[in-house]
Structure 1
Amino acid sequence: MILSRIAKKLTRSNGIQSLMEDLGSAWSGSTENIAFLGGGNPAKIPEAEKIYRSAVESIITSGGTLESLLGDYTSPIGSDETRELTAAYLGKFFGTTLQGNQIAFFNGSQNAYSFLLNSFSGTMEDGSFKKILLPVVPEYIGYADQTWEENVFYANLPIVEKTTPHRFRYKLDKTNIPWETIGCVALSRPTNPTGNVMENEDVDWLYTESRKNNIPLLIDLAYGNPFPNLIGEKEPTRWKPGMILSLSFSKVGLPGVRLGIIIADPEIISVLSSFAAVGNLAVGNWGQALAKVFWKEDSLPQISKNILRPYYANKLQTALEIIEEIFAKNKVQYSIHEPEGGFFLWIHFPNLPISNKELYQICKKENVYIVSGHYFFPGLTAQFSHTQECIRLTYCRDRKEIVRGAEIIARIVSRTAN
């Protein structure tokens, strides 16, 4: 069988495929002795699920609504009515007034990013070749294999700032960015995998430079404001012309709904509508129906504030205490990126004698699932030890899983270091 170049690219080993396959295989048998610390599945929180169930029930009991949801196509990027309602509702959270033609719905924000990244990178209509600037790597594992052309990422090496003996933070390096080669800027805030919430002054600098070069600034808010709003005390992101913001229902606890929301200038929304028509025909109906309920009841920001943020803050504190105690007992050399948002801990093992990919394989044999950090640096050509010395863990799992995982990781790292 002869595959196309694009198919060959997608079928080779990649990070997002590895992550999702681990998720499936981990739960295919007994889960008694598994520590699944790799995935980004949101926790199932009864208080939130009760509200979501009520929203679904209200949709089902509305006369004629269910039949329309199941039996009718909507437009490629959502109904005009729902887009208008969404613009009116979300504008207040982003410090602006939005119109319906600035909103588009997709079958998850991952779906939208596939269209966006390919719109602004690769071979352009004027024959030039443009790259996607990742201003602070590591960045989200799901971006790396979205593009149809090769070598389209430019990874900007971060400044590493030590904050405490066992904490550090990545910062934006504003020097030597080749703006003339860049077609768009993409970042997640907070960043998956590190939990880094880029300072607003740095976001403003990127915005200014993007405007100077007439390129869009894409900001992925999957874990950001206004929901699930896992950004601690950091200032929320605001929308400005030339920005493209993406939101998702996944991390509030509704990954199965597959609804992504894009906020952008009308001309960009028009481009995305063409992609969506060809790629999807139409966006799903259920997410839009839930959105209308959530906007009417103003429920998601309150769920985020009163349920999600306290829940995940408690999970984070528990995980940190467990890992710090076990790593100290095993004399593990480590440093954790300041966890400012998201679901994950990004752990650096300085002078790790094996690669993080080898560490992942050894852990997997003991039913401890982690994510090797080497996947999170697409486009990086400079030497950077963190590419081989970091792993990502979710802190959302049960205490016993985190204990077991931390003990096995500590044993492997301390053993290989001696």
Structure 2
Amino acid sequence: MTETMDQNYSLWADRLRKNQGIRSLMEDLGKATGHPNEILLGGGNPAHIPEAEAIFEETFGKLAKDPILRSLLGDYQAPIGNDSFRELAADYLSTLLQSKFRKENIAFFNGSQNAYSFLLNLHSGLMADGSFKKILLPVVPEYIGYADQSIAENVFLANPPNVVSTGENRFRYELNQSTFDLTDVGVLAISRPTNPTGNVLSLEQLEWMEKSTTKQNIPILIDLAYGNPFPNLIGKESPIQYKEGRTLSLSFSKIGLPGVRFGIVVSDEETIDTLSSFAAVSNLAVGNLGVYMMQILFQENVLPKLSENILRPFYEAKAKLALHLFTEAFEKMGVEYEIHDPMGGFFLWIRFPSLSISNHELYHLCKDKRLFIVSGHYFFPGLNTDFSHSKECIRLTYCRKEEELARGAQILAEIVASHQANSK
């Protein structure tokens, strides 16, 4: 029966039904039971920060008491947002991104993940001129959620990174200019900071790429879910600005509102107009809650202060704590390890060079102990060269409480220590 049903699915649907990294990650989040021994270091949930949540509760309270509640609950938005809200966003973001926007440069979506499913397919696959264009990831590993969004198969190309040692048990990925190739490329996709590593691509590296992409009219998608202008978890690196050839996506998820599912795309007018057609067909309309909360947060200019005074200090302290806890556990158990410099975001990317099993097998061993992590093999779509990191790395979040991080570090260290090539 199952085999017969399979034959009725498209190739695209069949590919979606296979095991995906993003589905595995989100199902792990959704299946959490609340058991006291569960250690949830795998997901992308932001931390629950009381000072931030108080701001959101106040914002939500204002909506609940306002007569606009009827419109919020009972009226459709336009596919990418009503003109008045887009005009507000254009005016507000013009200052933060140092460019003069009009509403025609702004689109709202039900999360930036939703927006990327359109943007990636807009510029890849079979084109109107008969060519076949691909999506280049300039520095991998890259975000787990991009990999399965393309309708066409075999559209991802991954540029293998340079691996630079930055200290004892520390390293960083950098753009490999010698292998950077735009042949048959329709679009570049970058997250900044990069999920999963916390890497923050320098503006100099971005501008170096743009010398080639601009000549060939190849757009660059820059995912700022963890970046500026909010939550602005970019460490010491300079913020991204808008310029022609760039499409920027912003999200409310990592400021602490993942359940609202609200994202903003900033781009040229033609791209935004095309996205409106995509959105009308697939979503009908953007949800209202995020749009109305945005109105209050933007009008009261809440987000810059929230990012600078609450979010950045919190996550920087969490990163420092997590580095201490995991380093201490690894050293105690004799684990061979390397950690990517956590320059931004809220993840640790850890490499175990002597691991005698794959990172996917390590994930399952950890899960058996109620420790949830993410296997790093999912983060290299389109990589056609042998790169040991794809089998040796894991991602984990440091957004959890100290006691949970400490228990997770101990369990992970014990499992890895018993599965090293030199273990007895």
| TM-score interval, smaller chain | over 0.9
Work out the CA distance in 2 between the residues paired with 1:69 and 1:303.
Answer: 25
Work out the CA distance in 1 between the residues paired with 2:44 and 2:154.
Answer: 27
Asked if 1:345 is matched to 2:351, the reply is no
Q: Report the Cα offset of residue 388 of structure 1.
A: 0.1
Q: Which amino acid aligns with 2:270?
A: E
Tell me how many residue pairs correspond in the alignment: 415
CA contact (8 A) 1:189 1:223 kept: yes
Q: Report the Cα offset of residue 209 of structure 1.
A: 1.7
CA contact (8 A) 1:206 1:217 kept: no
Work out the CA distance in 1 between the residues paired with 2:99 and 2:11.
Answer: 43
Residues 115-194 of structure 1: matches in 2 within 5 Å? 115-194=118-197
1:31 paired residue among 14, 32, 35: 35
Q: Report the Cα offset of residue 62 of structure 1.
A: 2.1
Work out the CA distance in 1 between the residues paired with 2:108 and 2:166.
Answer: 40
Cα RMSD over matched residues?
Answer: 0.9
Work out the CA distance in 2 between the residues paired with 1:166 and 1:57.
Answer: 47
Task: Render the CA deviation track for 1:44-64: whole Å, top value 9, x for unaligned.
Answer: 11111111111111122222x
Q: Which amino acid aligns with 1:328?
A: E
Q: Report the Cα offset of residue 403 of structure 1.
A: 1.3
Q: Report the Cα offset of residue 356 of structure 1.
A: 0.2
Q: Report the Cα offset of residue 404 of structure 1.
A: 1.3
Q: Report the Cα offset of residue 105 of structure 1.
A: 0.1
TM-score (norm 1): 0.98
Work out the CA distance in 2 between the residues paired with 1:207 and 1:270.
Answer: 24
1:21 paired residue among 21, 27, 43: 27
SS in 2 for 1:38: coil
Q: Which amino acid aligns with 2:186?
A: G
Work out the CA distance in 2 between the residues paired with 1:61 and 1:285.
Answer: 16
TM-score (norm 2): 0.97
Gaps of 5+ in 2: none
1:110 paired residue among 97, 110, 113: 113
1:369 paired residue among 336, 361, 372: 372
1:11 paired residue among 12, 17, 27: 17
Task: Render the CA deviation track for 1:357-407: whole Å, top value 9, x for unaligned.
Answer: 000010100100000000000000100000000000101111121111111
Aligned to 2:267: 264
1:59 paired residue among 57, 63, 66: 63
Q: Which amino acid aligns with 2:324?
A: E
CA contact (8 A) 1:37 1:368 kept: yes
Q: Report the Cα offset of residue 38 of structure 1.
A: 0.3
Aligned to 1:413: 416
Aligned to 1:322: 325
Aligned to 2:51: 47
Q: Report the Cα offset of residue 206 of structure 1.
A: 1.9
Q: Report the Cα offset of residue 180 of structure 1.
A: 2.7
Task: Render the CA deviation track for 1:143-181: whole Å, top value 9, x for unaligned.
Answer: 000001111000000000001011100000112333131
Work out the CA distance in 2 between the residues paired with 1:127 and 1:45.
Answer: 51
Work out the CA distance in 1 between the residues paired with 2:401 and 2:324.
Answer: 14
Task: Render the CA deviation track for 1:17-67: whole Å, top value 9, x for unaligned.
Answer: 000111112x23x4201111100101111111111111111122222x000
CA contact (8 A) 1:180 1:213 kept: no
